[in-house]
Structures are given as structure tokens and as C-alpha cells.
Amino acid sequence: MSNELHSPSWYRVAGLRPRLKSHAEVHRHHYRGQLWYVLQDRASRRMYRFNPAAWQVIGLLDGHRTVQDAWDLACHRLGDDAPTQDETIRLLGQLHGADLLQSEIAPDVDELLRRYSKQQSGKWWRNVRNPMSVKLPLIDPDRFLKRTLPFYRWLFSVWGFLLWLAVVGGGAAAAGLHWSDLTNNLADRILAPGNLVGMLVIFPFVKIFHEFGHACSVRARGGEVHEMGVMFLVFLPIPYVDASASSAFRSKWDRFQVGGAGMMAELALAAAAMFVWLSVEPGLVRAICFNVMLIAGISTVLFNGNPLLRYDGYYMLTDLVEIPNLGPRGGRYLGYLVQRYGFGLRELQPPEATPGERWWLVLYTIVSYVYRLFITFAIVTFVATQYFVVGVILAVWAAISAVLFPIGKGIAFVARGRNLRRQRNRAWAVTGGAVGVLVAAFFLIPFPIWTRTQGVLWVPEHAVVRSESEGFVTKLDTAPGAFVERGVALVSLEDPLLEPQERILVAKLDELDFKLRDMEVQDRVQGQIVRDEIAYTKKELARVRERLKGLVVESPAAGRFVVPNPSDLPARFVHKGEQIGFVAPRDQRLVRVVVGQDDVDLVRRRTESIEVRLAEKMDDTVSAVVLREVPAATGELPSLALSDRGGGNIALDPRKTDRPVALKPVFHFELAIPASDDELHIGERVYVRFDHGSEPLAYQTWRALRRLFLRRFTV
Amino acid sequence: MTTGTQEVIGYGVYPERLEKRENWLERTLRHPAMWVGREIGHGSRRFERLVRDVERAAPEFDDLDADGLRRAAMALRPMLRREGFTPALVARAFALIRAAAPATIGMRHFDVQLAGGWVLLNGCVAEMETGEGKTLTATLAAATAALAGTPVHVVTVNDYLAQRDAEEMGPLYRALGLTIGCVTHHVPPHERRPQYECDITYCTNKDLAFDYLRDRLRLKGRPRPLRHVLSRIAGDTRDTGLNLRGLHFAIVDEVDSVLVDEARTPLILSAETDSGALERVCREALELAAQLAEGTQFVLEHQRTHVRITDAGRKRLGELVAGRRGVWAGPNRREELVRQALSALHLFRRDQQYLVADGKVQIVDEFTGRVMPDRSWERGLHQMIEVKEGCALTGQRETLARISYQRFFRRYIRLAGMTGTAKEISGELWSVYRLKVMRVPTRRPVQRRIGGLQIFDTADDKWRAVLESVQREHTKGRPVLVGTRSVAASERLSALLTEAGLAHRLLNARQDREEADIVSDAGQPGRITVATNMAGRGTDIKLAPDSAAAGGLHVIVTELHEAGRIDRQLFGRCARQGDPGTCEVFACYEDELISRYASLAPDIAGRAPGKDLTGPALFRFAQRRAERIHAMIRQEVLEMDDYLGDLLAFAGRAE
């Protein structure tokens, strides 16, 4: 409908004498500094918002004036700001559509019936599209709320708020003190089947508390609450209350508080549960308290308090920024932007919105849509990991309702939309172009793909400097950090017992020699015994001499001699076989990396480059090459630093308590990075990024899905 | 449909079809449904059986005298009323009507006309070649329905045709004991009711729709039939003052022109109010508009049907009106006025969209070239054009009620139609009016030869070729009819002919007896007639024997129209009822069809090598595009009507 001053349909309304029905109540509100009139239909509990110009016309319609008179008067008073005839007709039409208009003429009964059946079928369709949120009104709590008003009214005052602060603050403090008790093994405790049942039972009761928070808050501020019932969110019965009377409140803080009352009630409940939890022994009561805290404390903040979802937080946000109906208006405004600038409909009237509101509308719509997609995706994947089939069904349903349905609607609009007639070709071109770009981005444009993992700096066994004897370190023959050849003396030890022992053995050997010479003549049998003793002593001597020789530790390989703490070494006692230092290869450092089995195929087959960052020098990246890989999966870890207990990201198997074993098999890779002059900390954590080049998102998605399904069906 | 419909059409007080919205299933299925049983040709079983049944019933009536015929009709009436249109009864009725025809009107229905009558009675569109006797065909359906007690409206496109048909067919109806009325523009309001109370009423679409609107105004407080009945029961015996008895059965002649070409013309019942300050405002708006520059401050868009004021134009306008008060103070109001003024200056051109006659601006229907004297544009546009042309200002008219033909004819309980050209619009007739198009065969094979499309670069070349063609055929002694698209074009050609010393007659769509006489004389040997395409429509051009010998009527189409149908209607002027005849089509790249619907293309297609191939394709493309755009607009008007109906539901179901 065009927006010209004079309307060809004006004659049909000019002579009417309509007026508002008597059950409509008017409230003056200010939104973002502008005056609005809010019309409250107390029968249908709906709200309608009019700007002062529109209200001027409505206000003039008192059942005695004709529409023509009212419009003329409005034009006289408002000049160019007066609504055009088209706008006036639309306004009256909207009022009629809201059943708020009454006039001396019987309305078109056909239209009334058509509208009724459309509403009915619309309701039905909504339920089909969204079978998980069917509303069932049950009771009218107004009389109850009115009678009990004295009991709770004081809660909605400053003192009530302070009390609430005290309770919730105390609860939060207690929770902080017992944080580890509360969160120990949280996921397992929440998802245990028995606990899930418990939560399902408790959930509705907690939510009843929540809803009464809203209801009492409305009632305490003078609003009426006439509907309470149950809706089924994902088949779970959840109570709801109709608190729409609050939108008539003039102060935005009143409306804001009504929106927040539910959460406040829940948080108070959670705090109370915390205190009970502390004071009772483990058992059923404690388990219930734990669940109450979980639902009332965490879920309420995550879901109800989140303004990006259409729960309490959203309504609080709209009250706070004074943009009622933020979500739907945002959608309409985006639609306008697309049509105006994308499809080039110059004549299109922008939806009414102040410049400040526009930013809100655009940003909120985009962010909340993306967020809703994300949260749906997260829920679906979470459910899928627990109950695979249910998850897949949910995923299909979510894809249809959140993605396919809007797309279908958009295409239908481009194909058949009435106001696109003159620009349909352009609309198709723009839509096709946008879709083409997205498809191209998905299928053609390569996006980088990589695998991140962790490893440790590492030396091979043959490069470890070990003492072959035990003794006290006397001196370092080679300065740490120097380059050595193989066989060079590195460290000297001292064992004060060894040299005397050698001398004793030598002397003993001399003695036995004499004894043998003697015996050989006298007693051949005795002589044989002495001969054996000589052999034994010779061996003994050799062993001692070897140990003496081992007191000089030699370099096992060529390279740089590295000692972790060289100053600690002198006079230290070293056991045999103890590691003193390393002889690191001259030209490279080695890194031992573990890769999970999900990623190993990519790492093996299409690693294009590897980047390594050392934990100590996170800013520098060095490139690496794969030296070798252990072909088989293993549970062993090269260092405990890579396990989740050591600050890494590999989960350990909690059943193996004797030694650390990874829960899922891992693959080891040995990488080489260039040597550097810096001190080498063997065992230091390194962060490794395997770069696999780039690949269109389509393939990446396909691989991820395939992996998901393979894991589901082959394990 | 094969057995005829059993029910009798419309009982009760002021019956009319209630509007029904299609649901998506009906919308989806309507196209397949349309294709079922579209032919009623020679050799088809339906056709054979109908003719056989009629002939079997014929002996009963053939030898009856006037009295006997009347008695037979009286006997048939209660049967039809009781049993409805059963095949046997319809055959008997047709036989009776056919038997009564020769003695009363000197004609006898042919077999194909029986088929046509059957199609009409079943509420379909009979697609019959021009000259096959549509008027006579209509009598079968009209009389049969009237015998069954159903009031019948036979709708024609102009006063002359309504009157002529009523006069010519009257004796036949009267011989059957039926009363016949005729409503034309000249019948004063208080005399219309008796005419509508006749069994059969011949009328024009315009008068009919306006009379209906007047009735609606009277019925404002009682929009639904139940209310009438209740007030009757309650003893309200006042004269209702209504014209019609309801919308029972309409047979629409030239159904494509009424239901499609004129579909979106709003019929507005209005009362004049005094013009007062309007003239001054109009003058000021035109002065302001004249100071804006095309291209920078305003642009003409969408094939020159829309004016858009640019931001620069808005600024300029603000500067121009600085300091003025009243309507000029606010930007919205002044921009609308100036936009209207710009439309008046640039979109509406004299002798194309309107004529100035007797100091009055008269709207010309672009499609038909017909003048519509009582129409006026809305929202001050008419007055601005009056100011532009220096005419006296008519008062601004205040709308009392409005309806489009689309909505009006959809309210008939049963609707039927006849036309020569319904092929392209059968889909639309079905989807909008639930009218199925059925082809009725010609009695004799058609001997029309249509020459190919001849395309010229400039309009001058084209007119020269037209002149040559006229001369060539004229010297052969053949009658020539030249059809033009606009009054201006016909006058241009007339000047050329006068210059060439060719005597000719010029017709400018006035639609009266004189015009019809000229048209019916256009078949005389050597006669040259120049006419806008709709002139004298509905009148046969009867070939004189000498003309037929010289090769029959030669029709020259000087410009392709926005709908191929209208071209074919012109072709249909020649070679009627097996006569010989030829047609020629001339077009040029400067034609409006091209500049509007393929404005970029002529340089490419027209000047390129091989333009013999691309040229006709270009014209076909432009014509098809025009047809599509018009169909889309009509669809939109309909949707908009629905939307407005819902929006304005609080104002009652008025028009």
C-alpha cells in the first residue's frame, strides 16, 4: 500500500463514526525519550503502541465525529506530521484486526470469520512447527494473588531487596567456600541417569517458584495476572504465567523488575538450598538440594538471564533499552534493509525506528540468530553424544525450523512477494548472487585447516649423559654448553673407597701368587684352590678398575653438553646410571609430540608445514620437520606434562593408577627444530601446529561429520 | 460438466455469489483443472449428441405457429424450473428456440451455434471466430435460462450494440413469451428497474456495474442476503428502490475485453463537490513542477508509468516553496501534489491517454482507444490535466462507491462469455472468474491469409509503406480497413491519405450507430476506412459481392498492440464466415511497444545483421512482456482488493 496523502479507499471510512471499545486502556509511556501511547486490550491481554500522531487521530474518534472530521482536525493540529489517509486507514484496520474498534456499521462478517479460522489454523501450524512448546492455560491466579498480597508485598521494597541480597550473597559465599565439593566430577554427577530423573522431577517445581516470582511482582505493582498454565518445552511440562500486564507499567524499572523477579526468586531458592546442602548428611535431601542449586542457580542465569534467547533476559533488555518488541521489529527492519538496498525498492517505507534503535535492531537480530543457531547446535551435539538417535532427530528438526523454513519463506517472498513486482529480476539476481557467494565460499574457497597439539622437548636415549659409577662429583672436565666429540671426558667423580680397594686387591693378588708358588710344590690340591682364588681376585680387580675408569663420565655422542643445573653438580653424590646431563645434537633440537587418533590421519597424510612454539618463548615460532613417527597407537605419554593432570590436554585413564596411561590411544611423532643458543630445557612443553594447507569448508564439514558417524558406528 | 448442471441459478432475494478465497490447494490445482475438456469440436461425442438430441426434439416444434410456440414454451418452463438444465430438457429448449427463430428474426441457428449455446449455458467461455454469429448464439443460452426462471443479463461493450441486439433478437424472445429489456446510457435511472425486471436484459457492462453499485449503496446497512430476507419477514414492504434483482446469470459478449482488458478499471460512483481552492493549488503545483528538471530532480520510471522525485528535487522544491504556507509547508503534502503535477505534465499526453473535446478532458482507454467520457482520474490529477489543457475545472469528485469489473463479475452466480480471442487469457479467466474456455468450431473453413510482420526503422518509413499498401489494394478494387493504435495515429494517417488524394472515412471510437454504419459499409468495393482498433467492434463488415470477387477485405494493422489478442481481433475483421480476406502487419522500431517494453533492444536487434530474424523476435518479446506485465498488474489489483477488503472490514462490506 502506498503512502500517499489521499487514499482512493478513503470514501469507505470517511463517514464512519468509530470509537475504541471500552475495554481498551491507554497508558502514556516514554521510550528512548519519545512519547508513545500504549493501548492495553484487557480482553486479549495484548498491547499496541502508537505514536502521538496516530494517537491524535484515535483520540479524536469518540463515536460522534466522523473519520473525516477527526482527520481534518488532526491535519489542522499536526500539519505535515498528521498521518496520511493511507496511514489512518491502516491504523483503523489494525485496530479492527485487534478487535478494538467499534462503529455504527456492522463489520464484514466474512472477514471476521476468515480471520478467526486463520488464527485457529495459525495456532495449529505453530504447534506443528514447534511441537515442543504447546501452551495449556489452566488457572486464573489473580484472586489468590490478591488475597495473599499482604504476605509478599513487602518483599518488593528496598528492604525486601536487601534481604534478597543478603540471602543470595550468603549462598554465593557458601558456594565459593565449598566450590571443589560442589564441582567435583560435575559432569558425571549431573548426567548419571538417576540424577537426570531427579532433575526432571524437581525442574517444574523450581519453575513454579520462578513464575510466582513474576506473578507476585506484577501483582505487587498493581497489575493483574489472569492466566497461569503449563507449556511443554521439549515434552517437559513447564509452568508459565501471563505477566503481560506489566507492559502497561509506566516506569521501565517496574517492567524491568517484573522481568527479573523470576530469576531473583530462583536465585533465592538456590541460596536456601545451599544452606540446607551444607547442614545435612549425604542422602536424598542433599541430592535434591544439589539439583535445586543447579537448576535455580545455573540454568536460570544461563538461559533465563540470557538476552539473546527469548526468555526473561530478553524482556529485561527490551525494557532497559526501551525498545519493545526488539526481536520481531529487528527481523522486519533487516527485511526492510534487504529490500531497500539489496532489491532496490526505493519507495519502500522504512519501519518506524529512531537511528539509535536501528543499530539495536540490526545487531540484536544478527547476534541473537547466530547465538540461537550456536546454542541449538551445542545442545544437539551434546544430546547426540549421550543419545545418538535422539540427537540426530533433534538436529534434523532444528535444521528445518531454524534454517530451511526461513530460507523457504525468503524464496517464496522473492518469487511471489507483492511489492517486489517491479524489482523481481533484481531481487532474484541479488538473492542468487548472495546464495552463490555463500555456496562458492562453502564449496570453492579454501579455508585453512590445521591440527594443534602439544609436545615436549626431548633427547634420544643415546644422548643422555649418565654416570657409570657412583661417587661424588669432583669437577666438570668440560664446561656445560660446550660442543664435545664422542668420548671426551665431561665430569669427574670420586669414590674414596675404590682406590684403597684396588690397592688391597693388588696386594692380595701378590700374596696369592706367592702362596701359589709355594703350594704348587707342596700340595697340588691346595694349589688348585689358590689358582681359583687368583682368578676370582683378578676379576674383582678388573671390576674395581672399571668403576674407577667410570668415574670419568664421557660424552656418549657428539654435540653440545648440557647440564640442567651445573652449579649444583660439584660434590654431589651421583648414583650409578643417574642422568647428569645431555649431549644435545649440534644442529637440531628434538620434540616429541602426541597426536590424538582423530587427527592422526590428517597429520600423517597432508601436513604441509609445522610450527612450534616453546612454552618459554611463546612469541617465537620455529618451523619443524617430522623425523620419525611411532607407527602404532599407544597409551604411553612421553611426559606427564602432556596429560590433563600435568596441565596438558590428554585425558588420563583413571582406572590405571600405577602409571599414567592416556584414556584414548595417541600417536607419537618426533619432530626436529633448529638448534638455538638458548638454554635447552629438556621436557619443556611446546605447542605444535600442523598446517594442512587449506580446503573448502564443505570438505572440512564432511570430514568432521564422517568422523563423528564412524566413531558412533564402528566403536 | 458433461451432463449439464442440474441446479437452477439463484433463488432468494438479490442473490449473488459470495466472495470465496482460494486456499493453497485450490490455487495449485486450478491450472490442471483448466485443461480438462476444452474442445467441443466436430466429431466430438458431446457435440454429436447435442445436435442429435436437438434434431430429435425438433419435429415437436418445427411446424408450430406463433401460438403453438408460445404454448410449447409455457409447457417447457415448469419442467426446466423443476428439473434444471438436464441434457434432454436443454435439447428441447434449444430445438424450440431454433424453431422459433426463422419466423421471428429471419435466421436459424447453425449446429455450431447450438454447441456455443450449450457452452454458454454451462457457464463457460465460448471461443468463436468473429462473424460466426455470437449474438444469435447467445439467444439459445439466454432464452433457455430465462425459461427456467433465471433473470439473464446479456452484457455488451457499448450502448449501440446493446440496443441493436435487443431490437434484433427481441422478436424471438417475445415469441417464446419472454420479456426483454434493454439498459443503455440513455435510459433514465427511474426507468431502469422495469428493464431489469424483464426475463432477459441487454445492457452494457458499464451501466450494469454502476446500477449494481447504486444498489449496493442502498443496501449499505444490509450487506448480506439474510438481512433482506429477515426484513421482508419482519414486514418491511417498503420499495427497496433497487435496480437489479440480483446477479444470477450474465452472458458477456467480448468477454476478453470486459473481463481482462478493462478488469482493473475501477468503476467509481461519485458525487461532485465544489472545486473551490483546488484550482489555485493545481496551478501552483503545475508551476512548481515545471521548474524541476527531468533526470536530475525527477525521473520517470518503470516504462514511463511512474514519477520519482529525487533528493535533489526535494531540496529544490523546498527552496521553491520557502515561505509559502498551507499545503506547501510540509514536505509530504507538497511532494505528492508536485508528483501528481509531474505525472500530468510528463506521463499523460494529449490524444494518447486523453482527448480534449468540447472543452473537457476525456480519458481514452489505452487498450481500446475508446473514449470514456464519464471517467476521471483521482486525487487532483484530472484537475491538473484540465489546468494543463486550459479547460474549465470540473469539481473534485467525491467517491461514493467503487468496484472493479474483476470483482463485479466474480459475484455472478453463473457467468458465461463469448469472444473470438481467448487463447492467451484462458488461464487468467479460469483463475480469476472460474471461467473455462471452450473452442467452438467454425461453420466453414477460414480463408484468411495473414502476411508476415513487416518491420521498418522509422515511423515515416512505416507510414509510407502503409500508404503504398492502401493504394495497391485500393486500385484492385478491394475494400481496405486500416487499424491504428491511437487517435493521433489515425489522424496522421488520414492526413497522409488526403494528401495522396485517397477518399476515406475516419472513425474515432465514438461507438454509435453512425460509426457502426460506417463499419458495416466498410466492405463496399474500394472503400478505405481508418479506425482505431476498437471502432465499430461487434459490427460485422459485410462484404459486397464485388469486393469478395476482388479478394475480400484487406486489413492493415499499423502497429502491434500490447496484447496479441487485439491484433487478432483486427485480423478477424476480414474473412468472416468463409469469405476471402488478407491481413498485413506493419511495425517500426519507434513504436511505443518497443520503446516501452524493449527500450534497449532495437539498437541491438534492429540494426544488427540478420535483423530479418531478430526483428520479429524482438516484437514478439516486447508483446509477450507487455502481456505478462499487464496480467501481473491485474493479479496484483485483485490481491490488493482482497487486502483492502480485509483492512477495511470494519467499514462493512461496502464497495
Model confidence pLDDT, tens digit, residues B572-590? 888 777 788 888 899 888 8
Q: Which residue has the cell 454504419?
A: B517
Q: How far is CA A253 from CA A212, A225, A247, A259, A322, in A?
A: 19, 19, 11, 10, 10
Tell me, what's the pLDDT at B476?
Answer: 87
Q: With cut-offs at 50, 70 and 90, classify the pLDDT of residue B428.
A: confident
8 Å CB contact of B648 and A89: yes
Q: What are the grid coordinates assigned to A292, written together? A: 535445586
In this complex, is the C-beta atom of A12 within 8 Å of any C-beta atom belonging to chain B? yes
* CB contact burial B170-209 (16+ within 10 A = b; e otherwise): bbbbebbbbebbbbbeebeeeebbebbebbbbbbbbbbbb
Read off the pLDDT of each residue in B212-238 and give the average, rounded to a whole number.
69
pLDDT of residue A672: 86
- Is the pLDDT higher at A76 or at B127? B127
Percent of chain A with pLDDT over 70: 95
Cell of residue A520, nine digits: 704348587
Interface test with B, best of A66, A108, A113 (most B CBs within 10 A): A108
* Residue-wise pLDDT tens digits, A419-449: 776 777 788 888 899 889 988 888 888 888 8
The CATH fold of domain A10-124:
Outer Surface Protein A; domain 3 (3.90.930)
Q: Touching check for A79 and chain B: CB below 8 Å? A: yes
- CB atoms A11 and B398 under 8 Å: yes
Residues in A closer than 8 angstroms to B651, CB to CB, are: 12-13, 16, 103, 105, 107
For chain B, the 3-state helix, strand and coil shares in percent, each to the nearest 5, are 50, 15, 35
**Per-residue pLDDT at B172:** 93
Cβ-Cβ contacts under 8 Å, A84 against chain B: 332
ipTM of the prediction greater than 0.90, yes or no: no
Q: Which residues of B touch A110 (CB under 8 A)?
A: 18-19, 653
Q: Alpha helix locations (H) across B540-610? A: 545-550, 564-571, 592-597, 601
Contact A5 B266 (CB under 8 A): no
Closest-CA distance of chain A to residue B336, Å: 7
Instruction: Look up cell 524499572; give the residue.
Output: A253
Query: Phi then psi for A62, rounded to 5 degrees?
Result: -115, 10
Query: Which of A111, A346, A421 lies at the smallest CB-CB distance from B308?
Result: A346
Query: Please, which pLDDT band fits residue B1 given cuts at 50, 70 and 90?
Result: very low
> What would the pLDDT profile of B50-100 be if each residue is shown by its tens digit?
889 999 988 888 888 889 999 999 999 999 988 888 888 999 999 999 999
CB–CB contact A418 B639 (8 Å): yes
Q: What is the pLDDT of residue B325?
A: 65
**What count of other Cβ atoms lies within 10 Å of the Cβ of residue B22?**
12
Cβ–Cβ of B302/A111 closer than 8 Å?
Answer: no
Q: Looking at the complex, does the CB of residue B335 fall below 8 Å from at least one CB of chain A?
A: no
In which residue ranges of chain A is CATH 2.40.30 found? 586-714
pLDDT value, residue A1: 36
pTM exceeds 0.90: no
Reported confidence tier of residue B151, pLDDT bands at 50, 70, 90: very high
User: Within the 594-633 window of chain B, which residues sit less than 8 Å (CB to CB) from chain A?
Assistant: 632-633
CA-closest candidate to residue A228, choices A293, A304, A139, A310: A139
Position A40 scores a pLDDT of 83
Secondary structure E strands in B122-195:
124-127, 152-156, 180-183
Where chain A has pLDDT below 50, the residues are 1-2, 715
Tell me: the pLDDT tens digits for A47-69? 888 888 888 888 888 888 888 88
Confidence of residue B612 (pLDDT cuts 50, 70, 90): low
Q: Are B132 and B443 in contact (CB under 8 A)?
A: yes
- By Cβ distance, the residue of B336, B378, B650 closest to A96 is B650
Give the number of other CB atoms < 10 A from CB of residue A643: 20
CB-based contact, B645 to chain A, within 8 Å:
yes
Residue B228: predicted pLDDT:
66
Q: What chain A residue is nearest to B271 in terms of C-alpha separation? A: A11
Query: Is it the case that residue B276 has pLDDT exceeding 70?
Result: no
Quick one: what percent of chain B has pLDDT higher than 90?
17
Nearest by Cα to A334 from A359, A311, A354 = A359
CA B223 to chain centre: 28
- Looking at residue B5, what is its pLDDT? 41
Span A586-714 CATH architecture: Beta Barrel (2.40)
Instruction: Give me the sign of the Cα torsion angle B199, B202, B205, B206.
Output: negative
- Contact of A122 with chain B, judged by CB distance below 8 Å, is answered with no
Nearest CA in chain B to A347: B308
A351-360, B494-503, B593-602: which is most confident: B494-503
The answer to whether A115 contacts B646, with C-beta atoms less than 8 Å apart, is yes
Residue B4 has pLDDT above 50, yes or no: no
Q: Does A110 touch chain B (CB under 8 A)?
A: yes
* Shortest CA gap A62–chain B (Å): 16
Identify the pLDDT of residue A714: 55
For the cut 70, the answer to whether the pLDDT of residue B240 exceeds it is no
Radius of gyration of chain A (CA): 41
| Residue A715: per-residue pLDDT | 47
Distance CA B462, CA B466 (A): 6
Residue A672 to residue A627: CA distance in whole angstroms: 6
How many whole angstroms separate alpha carbon B438 and alpha carbon B576? 20
Q: Does B332 touch chain A (CB under 8 A)?
A: yes
Q: Kindly write down the DSSP assignment for every residue of B296-363, as one continuous string.
A: TTEEEETTTTEEEE-HHHHHHHHHHTTT--GGGTSHHHHHHHHHHHHIIIII--BTTTEEEETTEEEE
CA distance B243 to B209: 11
Q: Does B36 contact A at CB distance below 8 Å?
A: no
**All domains of chain B, ordered by start, with CATH?**
24-265+405-439 (3.40.50.300), 274-395 (3.90.1440.10), 447-588 (3.40.50.300)
Please tell me if residue A108 touches chain B, with a CB cutoff of 8 Å.
Answer: yes
The answer to whether the Cα torsion of B543, B544, B548, B552 is positive or negative is negative
Which residues in chain B are contacts of A346 at CB distance < 8 A?
A: 308
Which pLDDT value is given to residue B170? Answer: 93
Question: How high does pLDDT run on average in chain B?
Answer: 80
- At B435-476, the pLDDT tens digits run 888 888 888 887 788 877 888 888 888 999 999 999 998 888
Tell me whether strands A19-20 and A101-102 are parallel, antiparallel or unpaired.
antiparallel
Q: Is A80 in contact with B329 (Cβ distance < 8 A)? A: yes
Mutate to test the interface with A, among B597, B647, B653, B655 (most CBs of A within 10 A): B647
Determine contact, residues B524/B479, Cβ cutoff 8 Å: yes
Please check the confidence at residue B374 and state whether its pLDDT lies above 60. yes
Q: Which residues contact B519 (CB under 8 A, 6 or more apart)?
A: B507, B529, B531, B535, B536, B539, B541
Which pLDDT does position B98 carry in this prediction? 92
Over B390-415, what HEC string results?
A: CCCCCCCEEEEEEEEHHHHHHCCCEE
Nearest by CB to B330, from A79, A111, A346: name it: A79
Distances (CA, A) of A328 to A121, A205, A324, A351, B272: 21, 31, 10, 12, 45
